[in-house]
Amino acid sequence: MRWWKLAGLAAFVGVAATGAVVARAERRRRAYTPDQIRERLHARLAEADKPAG
């Protein structure tokens, strides 16, 4: 194979891998119900309001 064929194949594999990672993250993000998201945000807010130290 010529180098440009390898470069094209590597680019294709990179795009496919990136798409798989994005799809996985999107599925994970959408798996939460609105109530779960609200609870997590409230917990993060409560943690942020605590004084340091």
Mind listing the pLDDT tens digit for each residue in 1-53?
688 888 989 999 999 999 999 999 988 888 888 899 999 999 999 998 887 76
pLDDT at 49: 84
pLDDT at 1: 67
| In the chain, domain spans | 17-53
- pTM, whole model, 2 decimals? 0.49
Query: CA–CA separation, 9 vs 30, rounded Å?
Result: 32
Q: Which two tokens stand for residue 24?
A: 């996985």
Element (H, E) at 43: helix 34-49
CA 1 to chain centre: 35
Chain position carrying tokens 């942020």: 48
pLDDT at 22: 93
Q: Which two tokens stand for residue 46?
A: 């409560």
